[in-house]
Amino acid sequence: MLETQEKTLSTESTTRMNGAKAIMECLVHEGVELIYGYPGGAIMPVYDALYDYQDQVQHVLTRHEQGATHAAQGYARVTNKTGVVFATSGPGATNLVTGLADALIDSTPMVCITGQVFAKLLGTDAFQETDVISITMAVTKWNYQITKASEIPDVMAKAFYIANSGRPGPVIIDITKNAQLELLDFAYKKTTAIRSYNPIQKADENELTKAAELLNNAKKPYILFGQGVTLSGAETELKQLVEKSGIPAAWTILGLSAMETDHPLNVGMLGMHGNYAPNVLTNECDVLFAVGMRFDDRVTGKVDGYAPQAKVIHLDIDPSEINKIIEADVALVGDAKETLQRLLPLIEQNVHPEWLQQFKDLDQMEWDKVIEKEIQPKEGLITMGEVIHLINEETEGDHIIVTDVGQHQMVACRYAKFAKHRSNVTSGGLGTMGFALPAGLGAQMGAPDRCVIAVIGDGGFQMTIQELATIAQTKTPLKILILNNQFLGMVRQWQELFFDKRYSSVELENPDFQMISEGMGVPAILTKERASLKADIQKWLNHEGPCLLEVRVGKENNVFPMVPAGATVAEIRLD
């Protein structure tokens, strides 16, 4: 177990209680207001203790443990709080693995508490026993098994500190049943530091000076920003940097909404299905400043052909990300907000009109060849882009959009407009189909005063469709959008373009989504024709409670632009 330093926040006295109640007391001390979970035999004492805390902590019974993890992720992403999950041993715990992996790669703070068999039964293949620690080691920031009640306060305090410090991530605490039942003298010490764990480093002053010199002297400087901006709360500092320096800035899909999409220096989306100009001009900039992003392969394309001409400045809180994929000329290891605050006084006021015009010229090409036909089609079947465009018009960008994974995700990220921060929630690194419905539930509960829209494909929807019942039971006013093309659309697109249209196992014979949704207690609307689309969207958005809108879209429409596998970002295709 990690050793805690003296720097702690402590309660004044001890109280005798059992381990299960101690767990609830720890959660209250950490300010937890919401838990997603599913009970079972090995965690039953904790659920019994929960019964006495219903006026302090809300528990949401999801219909599957994976749904609980994604709901906790959605909640964490819009609130900047730590999501909390309860699950039982065995299959309950193993059902958390996908959500843990998703949270780890997307840096989402989450604490999962799983029950476990009695300590004396560990290793005996007892009923519903699995080695949760070994299974989850690769998909958590930290994990620990508690076998004695006396360990609970210290371990729980560390779990919350680790989950939401430095680069956030998921933690799992596995608690044997005897530890839940044993008595302890409870006193809580909130962890604020741990020996050997240094979650935040401070960027070197000399490196800051080098970064400023490069940016001030650049003719074609370029900023790429990711979710690190949002996680550190550096949105204001990023905007100040962009406006003072006059540098165009592009976003990863997890960076989306860190800067309002209509800002004149926000030049669009990076990556495989990103905008044309941000990709092509990556290979023409002379200085590239990456802020809170990790150069994922979907952003870089062919690595040895990625910005070979540019001096690279990389700012990230995680030192392991520096030089992992793209070699940095200047390495800024630190928190984005604090580092940008120190960098801003060193940056000179500047403008780059000719450089910015190159982005505008390529934007016009993309508009003419792709965007206009996608968001304002004059004939043919409904497109995904026009649905997102109409939603933009109705909400004026004042919404939170939670996306699943597939063509609809790329379309939503490309065309959704955002006026507020923390408005985009998606599964980025892991690409988890089934993410959006439960994550939308969590996001809506975390932001009850905002309109939250879950954008989902017909394939991914069926992976966690059971969470409709959770949404109905909690009366969460989530707006669910199914863009139904009767295919696993992204796989089909690749099969069309690169496998000679050999459509192998991608066509879906879907159930009646409207009937299923209404059977689970969520009203539903089906739209098949463009003539009724706008009115149906208005009716759906104006419904007071949860509501599902299914829109039948073209079956074989493709998402462009696209960087083919093995190509450089400059080889992005418009068709």
Looking at residue 140, which CATH number applies to its domain?
3.40.50.970
Distance CA 523, CA 543 (A): 9
Distance CA 353, CA 279 (A): 19
- What would the pLDDT profile of 116-165 be if each residue is shown by its tens digit? 999 999 999 999 999 999 999 999 999 999 999 999 999 999 999 999 99
Say which residues have a Cβ less than 8 Å from residue 137's Cβ, sequence separation at least 6: 143
> Which of 3, 127, 327, 501 is an active site residue?
127
The Cα-based distances of 157 to 32, 164, 194 in angstroms read: 12, 11, 11
Tokens 């919404």 label which residue? 399
Residue 438 lies in a domain: yes
Pair 175, 116: CB distance under 8 Å: yes
Residue 569 lies in a domain: no
Residues 67 and 96 in one domain: yes
Residues 241 and 310 in one domain: yes
> Which of 33, 44, 58, 128 is an active site residue?
128
Residues 179 and 255 in one domain: no
Number of C-beta neighbours around residue 521 at 10 A = 14
CB-count burial class (<10 Å; 0-12, 13-18, 19+) for 328: buried
Residue spans of the chain under pLDDT 70: 1-12
The Cα-based distances of 458 to 307, 464, 487, 489 in angstroms read: 37, 11, 8, 9
* Residue 200, phi-psi category: left (phi > 0), alpha (psi -120 to 50), beta (remainder): beta
Phi, psi of 185 (to 5 degrees): -90, 105
pLDDT of residue 14: 86
Residue 561 lies in a domain: no
Token digits for 411?
């379309």
Distance CA 65, CA 91 (A): 9
User: Parallel, antiparallel, or unpaired for β 15-18 and 170-176?
Assistant: unpaired
> Which of 17, 433, 445, 490 is an active site residue?
490
CB-count burial class (<10 Å; 0-12, 13-18, 19+) for 410: buried
Please tell me the total count of domains within the chain. 3
Q: What is the maximum alpha-carbon separation in the chain? A: 72
> Which of 65, 182, 366, 386 is an active site residue?
65
Residues 90 and 230 in one domain: no
The Cα-based distances of 452 to 31, 398, 401 in angstroms read: 24, 9, 6
Residue 238 lies in a domain: yes
pLDDT of residue 9: 44
Distance CA 357, CA 211 (A): 24
Say which residues have a Cβ less than 8 Å from residue 428's Cβ, sequence separation at least 6: 105, 106, 227, 252, 253, 254, 296
> Which of 21, 141, 177, 417 is an active site residue?
177
Residues 124 and 95 in one domain: yes
Tokens 């099969």 label which residue? 495
Residue 559 lies in a domain: no
Q: Which of 449, 501, 451 is nearest to 478 (CA)?
A: 451
pLDDT of residue 4: 42
Tokens 């979907």 label which residue? 298
CB-count burial class (<10 Å; 0-12, 13-18, 19+) for 61: middle
Query: What is the torsional sign of CA 406, 409, 411, 414?
Result: negative
Q: Is 21 a catalytic residue?
A: no
Query: What is the torsional sign of CA 347, 348, 349, 355?
Result: negative
Residues 352 and 420 in one domain: no
**Domain end residue (candidates: 186, 218, 245):** 186
Residues 111 and 8 in one domain: yes
pTM listed for this prediction: 0.96
Q: Is 128 a catalytic residue?
A: yes
Residues 152 and 214 in one domain: no
- What would the pLDDT profile of 471-483 be if each residue is shown by its tens digit? 999 999 999 999 9
Residue 274 lies in a domain: yes
Tokens 């003072």 label which residue? 244
Phi, psi of 214 (to 5 degrees): -60, -45
pLDDT of residue 13: 73
pLDDT of residue 2: 41
Q: Is 562 a catalytic residue?
A: no
* Residue 197, phi-psi category: left (phi > 0), alpha (psi -120 to 50), beta (remainder): beta
Residues 251 and 301 in one domain: yes
Residue 312 lies in a domain: yes
561 preceded by a cis bond (ω within 30 of 0): yes
Distance CA 441, CA 320 (A): 33
Distance CA 5, CA 489 (A): 52
Residues 159 and 291 in one domain: no
Q: Which of 264, 200, 256 is nearest to 229 (CA)?
A: 256
**Angle between helix 436-446 and helix 65-79 axes, rounded to 10 deg:** 40
What does the DSSP 8-state code read for residue 301? B
Residues 258 and 121 in one domain: no
CATH code where residue 292 lies = 3.40.50.1220
**Domain end residue (candidates: 154, 186, 218):** 186
Cα angle, residue 322 at apex, residues 265 and 199 outer, rounded to 5°: 100
Say which residues have a Cβ less than 8 Å from residue 353's Cβ, sequence separation at least 6: none
Residues 283 and 387 in one domain: no
SS3 4: strand
Residue 387 lies in a domain: yes
SS3 352: coil
The shares of helix, strand and coil residues in the chain, as percent rounded to the nearest 5, are 40, 20, 40
Q: What is the extent of the structural domain holding 41?
A: 3-186
